[in-house]
Amino acid sequence: MTQNVPNSVYAERRARLAAQLGDGGIAIVPTAPERMRNRDSDYLYRHDSYFYYLTGFTEPGACLVLTSDGQSTLFCNPKDAEREIWDGYRLGPEAAVAALGVHAALPAGELDQRLPRLLENRACVWYPFATHAGLAARVDGWLNPVRARVRYGALCPPRQADLCLLVDEMRLVKDAHELALMRHAAQISAQAHIRAMQRCARMLRAGQEVREYHLDAELLHEFREHGSQAPAYGSIVAAGANACVLHYRADKAPVRSGELVLIDAGCEYDGYASDITRTFPANGRFTGPQRALYDLVLASQEAAVAATKAGARFTEPHDATVAVLAQGLLDLGLLNTNQHGSVQDVIEKRAYFPFYMHRTGHWLGMDVHDCGSYVEPSEVGQVSERRDPLSGETIQDRPSRILRPGMVLTIEPGLYVRPAPGVPEAFHHLGIRIEDDAVVHPGGCELMTRGVPVQPDEIEALMRD
């Protein structure tokens, strides 16, 4: 499937942004630089997400300039027969206006010369503050010639502001084109997880040695087979105890029958990420303790899913997860009632933290940890203070974001059991996470990633096939 997002979508986004720049505002949005991995070898090029959101253009070396009257100018690499032999096709400024629907296009090499004039007499310069190292200094460099002309009557923009503040809010609520791409990315990733699970069981049944990289290979195959450009983040394929290392990467550890495998992997498709975690028994059959812990994580995820709907706060799914996990940790004897007291005590003292040390979700979009404030913008002034029961630190809380239709977030509870005094041995070294990608709707949410099952019986069934 190729999804062609029409130029009008990007033009409409630019118009909406232009309307927020204020009278005399101007925005500068560069794409990402190319980066060298090691001598003469670059990392796979990935455009900047803000730039792509406003242009749909994936070539390196480009920069968008947008003014508050809605005029858009794209600076991009010029046609160059020799460079195109080495690096590939370039659209070039001559074709860019028609191909992308911008108002003007100029060679990227003219940026330094043109920008001072474009900045002259503007009220405010908007650019992303945190995403491009050195951009502030470049802006300053473009403003210097303007300052030099002040005595001839030019006005130097008195204000600079962070463009991310505006575009983050736009990106947080996904439109129909974005959701279509995200559903597609999610479907590919779901199939990739099934493929990895099935290969794992098949190889073990055949008496073959399985390594984490064998399963990583299946993920990559399925991603690329269906047109995904790359994994959206470094795939985690963690066998056995490696699952308790939260940022583990697919490596070479053996995958043993009787152990669990945790895979956290998702593809990027046309600039949009998916993010799925499944935990499954390597040989296709959960043991009793594995199943008990898995059922608990799944129940906590179900509670979080039920709490994910328009009007709820971003923190509600997390709180729902923690309530279920806290009760389950007491029930399974991972936390001792005599020592830790009631569920309420476990929650208030954060006694679950050694087993569950991350949040239940994050925004998802072009970036896997997508942009967007987690605080409700209209309530930022409502600060309350509390003492963290574990660190003793004073923490300032602000009201959490209210979920709206079209927001996309992950729901990813987990439990990670390292050996410790009082922790039943049967659970040692088990690491379980279940992660799905949810679109917020009125009254509920849509899980885009359920093409790969989460029910333990269904996982066992597909691994038997």
- List contacts with Mn ion (CB under 5 A): 264, 275, 410, 435
For residues 60 and 266, which CB has a smaller minimum distance to ligand GLY in the complex? 266
Instruction: Choose from ligand GLY, Mn ion, none: what does 129 bind? Cβ within 5-8 Å by kind.
Output: none
Q: State the helix-helix crossing angle for 164-172 and 7-18, rounded to 10 degrees.
A: 130
SS3 104: strand
For residues 259 and 275, which CB has a smaller minimum distance to ligand GLY in the complex? 275
Q: Compute CA distances 152 → 139, 148, 159, 376, whole Å.
A: 21, 8, 20, 46
Q: Which contacts (CB < 8 Å, 24+ apart) does range 196-200 have? A: 196/237, 196/263, 197/278, 197/280, 197/452, 197/459, 197/462, 197/463, 198/462, 198/463, 198/465, 200/255, 200/261, 200/280, 200/282, 200/463
Minimum distance from residue 291 beta carbon to ligand GLY (Å): 23
Phi and psi of 291, rounded to 5°?
-65, -40
For residues 55 and 410, which CB has a smaller minimum distance to ligand GLY in the complex? 410
Residues β-bridged to residue 124: 25, 159
Catalytic residues: 40, 247, 264, 275, 358, 362, 369, 412, 416, 433, 435
User: Is 275 a binder of ligand GLY (CB under 6 A)?
Assistant: yes
Number of residues that bind ligand GLY (CB under 6 A): 7
User: Is 264 a binder of ligand GLY (CB under 6 A)?
Assistant: yes
DSSP 178-212: HHHHHHHHHHHHHHHHHHHHHHHHHHHHTT---BH
Residue among 46, 47, 58, 163 at smallest CA distance from 100: 58
For residues 316 and 367, which CB has a smaller minimum distance to ligand GLY in the complex? 367
Q: Do residues 254 and 428 touch, judged by C-beta distance below 8 A?
A: no
User: Is 233 a binder of ligand GLY (CB under 6 A)?
Assistant: yes
Binding mask 310-349 for ligand GLY (x = CB under 6 A): ----------------------------------------
| CA–CA gap between residue 437 and residue 305 (Å, rounded) | 10
**Among 368, 411, 423, 432, interactor with ligand GLY by CB under 6 A:** 368
| CA–CA gap between residue 195 and residue 193 (Å, rounded) | 5
Instruction: Choose from ligand GLY, Mn ion, none: what does 222 bind? Cβ within 5-8 Å by kind.
Output: none
Residue among 117, 27, 36, 135 at smallest CA distance from 74: 27
Minimum distance from residue 47 beta carbon to ligand GLY (Å): 20
User: Is 249 a binder of ligand GLY (CB under 6 A)?
Assistant: no
For residues 204 and 368, which CB has a smaller minimum distance to Mn ion in the complex? 368
User: Is 262 a binder of ligand GLY (CB under 6 A)?
Assistant: no
Minimum distance from residue 64 beta carbon to ligand GLY (Å): 29
Minimum distance from residue 294 beta carbon to Mn ion (Å): 17
Q: Could you list the residues that contact ligand GLY (CB under 6 A)?
A: 233, 264, 275, 362, 368, 412, 435
